[in-house]
Structure 1
Amino acid sequence: MTEEWIITGDYVEACNCDVACQCLWMEPPDDNRCTFSSVWHITDGQYGDVDLNGLHTALLVRSEEGVLLDPGTEWHAVLLTDETADDDQQAALEDIYLGRAGGVFAVAADTHVESAEVATAPFSFTRDGADFSVEIGDSVSMDVVGKRGFNEKLGTIAPHPFNKSTEMNAGKSTTATVSYNDEFTWDVSENNAFLCDFELANA
C-alpha cells in the first residue's frame, strides 16, 4: 500500500545549458544532451509515519539526446540519499524518489527513467538567501547564486516539474561538478541553475 507523503524545504539544481533550461519549453538542450544534478534539503517531511525532517537527497540525470521532458527521451539516473537516514527513512526516500509512491517522481519514472542506481553519501548543504553550496561526498560539488533582474528581484521561471507551484528562481552555478563514475562525470560550472523553496506531495 502506498503511503501518503509530503516534503518541503530547499531545492537547487544545476545543468549544462548556458541559459535557462530550454527543456522547460520543449526545445533541445545545449549540445542536444542533458546532464543535471538536483538536490533537496528536506526541512519538513513525512512518509506515512516516517519522519524525513533534516534529510537530503540528490538526483544525477543524463540523457543522450533530445528534449529532456519529451516522453520519448530516456533518462539514466543516480539517486544519492543521506547516509544519516535509518533503514525506514532510506526505504521512504527510495519509494518517493524512485517513483514507487506516486507524485511527480512516479510520472518521471514511468515516462523517462531507463536505469536508476541508488547509493548513500554524506551531504553538506548550506543556504544563505539565494546562495547555495552543496557537497555530496566526493561525487558532487555545487555552488549556485540566484540571478536578479534590473529591479533587483530574483528571476522566476515556470513551469518546472519539481515544485508544486511549478515556479523556480533563476540562478547560475559558479561550481557544478559531478564525479560519480565514468558515465556520471561532468563539469557544467558557470551555466544554468534553478533554486526555490519547494513543496512536493503525492496527494
Structure 2
Amino acid sequence: MAENWNIRGDYVEACNCEVACQCVWLEPPDGDVCTVSLAWEIEEGQYGTVDLSGLGVAMLIYTDEGVMFAPDTGWYLALLVDETADATQQAAIEDIFTGHAGGVFAVIADTHVESAEVATAPFEFDRDDGDFSVEVGDVVTMETTPKDGFNDEPGTITPHPLGPGLEMKTAKSEAATVSYDDDFSWDVSENNSYYCDFELVNA
C-alpha cells in the first residue's frame, strides 16, 4: 500500500508551444505533438517517514498527435531522479511521479502514460524570483524568464493540473534542450514556459 506523501518547492517547465501553451485550454499543441521538460526542486517533502527534502526531479514527455489532455492521447515519459537520492528516496520518488502512490500523477498515469523509464542524474536548480536555471546532467538545460503582461507583471494561466489552485505563471525559455536518447531529444528554446511554487499531496 502506498504511503501518504506531500512535496512542495519550485517548479518550471518548457515546451515546444509558443507563449502561452494552449494545452491547458484543450487545444492541440504547436505541431500537433507536445515535447516538454518539467523540473521540480523539492524544498520540503515526505513519503511516509522518508524525507525527500532537497532533492530534484525532472520529467521528459512527448505525446502522440492530438490534444495533450484528451483521454486518448498517449504520453511517453522519462523520469530523472536526483543522483544524490539514496535507494529508499529514489523508490519513493518513483512511486510518486509514476503514479503508483496516488495523487495527480496517478490520474495522469491511468489516463495517458504509454511507457515510462527511470534514470538518475546530477541536478543544478537555481531560481531568482521568476528566473530559472536548470541543468540535469548532460540531459536537460532550461533557462527561463517571466513573460510580463501590460502591467509589467508575469501573466497567469489556469487551469494547470500541477499548479497551486490550478494556476501557473507564464514565462519564456531562453534555452530548453533535451538530449536523453533518440526519442527524447529536442531543442524548443525561445518558446513557452510555466512556473510556480508548487505543493502536491496524495490526499
Coarse TM-score class (shorter-chain normalised): over 0.9
Find the aligned partners of 1:27 and 1:147 in 2 and give their Cα distance: 21
Runs of 4+ in 1 over 6 A off after TM superposition: none
Find the aligned partners of 2:125 and 2:88 in 1 and give their Cα distance: 22
Aligned-pair distance for 1:164?
Answer: 3.6
Aligned-pair distance for 1:154?
Answer: 1.4
CA contact (8 A) 2:18 2:30 kept: yes
| Match of residue 145 from structure 1 | 145
Q: CA RMSD in A?
A: 0.7
| Match of residue 12 from structure 2 | 12
Aligned-pair distance for 1:165?
Answer: 1.3
| Match of residue 101 from structure 1 | 101
Measured against aligned partners, the alpha-carbon deviations of 1:74-103 in whole angstroms (never above 9, x if no partner) come to 000000000000111000000000000000
Higher mean Cα deviation, 78-87 or 155-164? Answer: 155-164
Find the aligned partners of 2:160 and 2:199 in 1 and give their Cα distance: 12
Find the aligned partners of 2:110 and 2:151 in 1 and give their Cα distance: 41
Measured against aligned partners, the alpha-carbon deviations of 1:26-47 in whole angstroms (never above 9, x if no partner) come to 1101010100000000001010
Aligned-pair distance for 1:150?
Answer: 1.6
Aligned-pair distance for 1:19?
Answer: 2.0
Question: Residues 95-174 of structure 1 correspond to what in structure 2 (within 5 A)?
Answer: 95-174=95-174
Aligned-pair distance for 1:130?
Answer: 0.3
Measured against aligned partners, the alpha-carbon deviations of 1:118-160 in whole angstroms (never above 9, x if no partner) come to 0000000000000000000110011000111121221111100
Aligned AA (1:186): W
Higher mean Cα deviation, 91-100 or 19-28? Answer: 19-28
Higher mean Cα deviation, 90-99 or 152-161? Answer: 152-161
TM (normalized to structure 1)? 0.99
CA contact (8 A) 2:11 2:197 kept: yes
Equivalences, count: 203
Counterpart of 1:165 in 2: which secondary structure? helix
Question: Residues 1-203 of structure 1 correspond to what in structure 2 (within 5 A)?
Answer: 1-203=1-203
Structure 1 residues 130 and 164: CA distance shift in structure 2, 3 A = closer
CA contact (8 A) 2:67 2:73 kept: yes
Higher mean Cα deviation, 6-15 or 144-153? Answer: 144-153
Counterpart of 1:106 in 2: which secondary structure? helix
Find the aligned partners of 2:111 and 2:51 in 1 and give their Cα distance: 29
Find the aligned partners of 1:78 and 1:175 in 2 and give their Cα distance: 20
Instruction: Specify every segment of 5 or more residues in structure 2 that has no aligned partner in the other structure, as ranges.
Output: none
Identity of aligned pairs, percent? Answer: 64
Measured against aligned partners, the alpha-carbon deviations of 1:162-183 in whole angstroms (never above 9, x if no partner) come to 1241100000000000000000
